[in-house]
A and B are shown apart, each in its own frame.
Chain A
Amino acid sequence: MPFLSQGDRKPTTKHFTLGLVLGGLLWLPLTAQAERIFISNEKDNTVSVIDGTSLEVIETIRVGRRPRAMAFSSDGSELFVAVGDDEAIDMIDLETLQVVRSQSSGEDPEVIRVDPNRPYIYVSNEDDNIVSVLDYEARTLVTEIPVGVEPEGLGISPDGRWLIATTETSNMAHIIDAEAMEAVHHRLVGARPRHAEFSHDGSEAWVSSEIAGMVTILDMEETFDVKHVIRFDVPGVPRETVQAVGVALTSDGRYAFVALGPSNRVAVIDQQTYEVLDYLLVGQRVWHLALNADESRLYTTNGVSGDVTVIDVEGLRAIKSIPVGRFPWGVIVEP
């Protein structure tokens, strides 16, 4: 057989090189990060698209005025962007990267979440003290849920059962029954609560407080009460610059990451013991965070320095900062 007849030939440098190339090609798909990262630039009215392999901006999408929070549609075909000054949700087709439609959202939409079971978008309307529920398929307003003064952060449990709205003047976390569409529990948290994030098993909700510079952990299984409070102390940094905002939790229950605003740090926390393990230096005024699909990387938006820092989760170190538009606010990674 011709193939076997080559067996007695000694391997040459050419063969070795060919082997390396082929081996490299086989290895490539395993190591490449074929993901896209979307960044909303609050002052530029754009969404930057970063390629996860090259870590470079590959596209800039023009959207409505003052884009902030983003979320994917349940089928993953569209990206929703809350454009605050246009009082709407812009919807970007992920194939063409164009805004294909827009839906009215009520006044000053800031944070949005998508229901995992129904075609609903939850919108915090800061000026109206309500959470609006929009049907993005029927393009209708489903209902409005009254909450405290100046609702800001929204978090939804993995099963879609609970929604948490944080109100920055009331300093409360309002726990909303997503079936009944009404707030059933109200809990005091730290000053100016900004963000709510559920653990992947839905047993806890982590609520960050900007002015208090702390994270409150709520028990979401039985009592809905405050279970633990984490405070931050970045060495050498003035206390008032430590402002807790974005939160990201790994699905394996290992790490929690909290963006600490103008202290330019991301806190790394042990999800089990709530111990702060490290503070990672990133760009200026770090605001929101997003983990990629395999949770090997964490992306942060740095509002003042206008860039995105990429953190290697395994090594717990910042590996690169990528300039984007002016005042990047939200970040989301295509699943």
Chain B
Amino acid sequence: MRPTPWLHCLRGVVGRELLRFLHQRSRFLAALVRPLVWLFVFATGFRMALGVAMTEPYQTYILYEVYIVPGLVGMIQLFNGMQSSLSMVYDREMGSMRVLLVSPFPRWYLLICKLLASTLVSMVQVYVFLAIAWAYGIQAPALGYLFLLPALLVTGFMVGALGLLLSSLIRQLENFAGVMNFVIFPMFFLSSALYPLWRIREGSYLVYQIAALNPFTHAVEMIRFALYERFNMEAVLISVSVAAILLALAILGYNPSRGMMARKGG
């Protein structure tokens, strides 16, 4: 096929997602309020007024609210990725997914378009959040905001692909909400988003080991390093690999002949 129809398809899916996001103001506000509450309320309570010990990529001592920002960026993407995948279940229930599926393009391409669309939406949310944090006084180096872009892309694909995989396994909208609680909260809390790994290790070695294995930890560290103009090879490799594996599984899950969709008749 010529590239133009492919781009036309991409534009259609991305445009629909962005339009839906813009029309759902409450969703935008909710997406923004959640990390801001964490930043202004939770981080204030856990302020660690005497500073967080020096840890990479920071060059000096930082306050807790500075530490928590990359974790909250990851949180925005995690919730957005899951919410976007939740909409897949909704679309399937409402029948609007059929419109997408009658497209002549391969299903893997449609899924990637969908992932890209939801990632772009999450990027908008992230940069608005970072702008508010900047005004509050949490300021990363200027170039860090640019280096953050590819890290957001990888994280967006990773959590989005996980959501797609879950949505391919779930029959009803009600079930999805339950799975979200079992996925989002453990992923978020058992990671370095809220506390450095060395700190978790001091509390529980088991929890530390789980957190060190959690791909979301590596995504958050990738974001943290990028925001401070550093490249964390290990975090990038793990995040990209996990994103690729989850995407492959999600594509498999949505394959009408081999995946879960076949069994469910989706």
Contact = CB atoms under 8 A, between A and B. Distances in A.
Contacts of B50: 237, 241, 262-264, 284
A158 to B, nearest CB: 32
A309 B49 contact: no
Nearest to A302: B61
B59 interface: yes
A76 B217 CA distance: 52
A235 interface: yes
Interface string A266-286: 000000000000000111100
Of B53, B54, B63, most buried by chain A (CB within 10 Å of CB) is B54
Interface of B is mostly: loop
Contact of A318 (B49, B53, B61): B61
Interface in B48-65: 49-51, 53-54, 59-63
A319 B50 CA distance: 17
Contacts of B47: 236
Of A241, A264, A281, most buried by chain B (CB within 10 Å of CB) is A281
A234 interface: yes
A231 interface: no
A309 B60 contact: yes
Of B47, B49, B62, most buried by chain A (CB within 10 Å of CB) is B49
Taking residues whose C-beta sits less than 8 angstroms from the other chain, chain B's interface range is 10 to 19
Interface string A286-325: 0000000000000000000101011000000011110000
Nearest to A307: B54
Contacts of B61: 264, 281-283, 305, 309, 318, 321
A264 B54 contact: no
A309 B63 CA distance: 15
A310 B60 CA distance: 9
B59 A320 contact: yes
A150 B50 CA distance: 30
A241 B61 CA distance: 17
B176 to A, nearest CB: 41
Interface string B199-231: 000000000000000000000000000000000
Contacts of A264: 50-51, 61
B59 A281 contact: no
Contacts of A309: 60-61
A252 to B, nearest CB: 25
A281 B51 contact: yes
Nearest to A241: B50
Interface in A74-100: none
A329 to B, nearest CB: 19
B60 A237 contact: no
Contacts of A236: 47, 49
B62 A281 contact: yes
Contacts of A284: 50-51
13 contacts: A236-B47, A262-B50, A264-B61, A281-B61, A305-B53, A305-B61, A307-B54, A309-B60, A310-B60, A320-B59, A320-B60, A321-B60, A321-B61
Given A241-B50, A264-B51, 17 more contacts: A235-B49, A236-B49, A262-B50, A281-B63, A282-B60, A282-B61, A283-B54, A283-B60, A284-B51, A305-B53, A305-B61, A307-B54, A309-B60, A309-B61, A319-B59, A319-B60, A320-B59
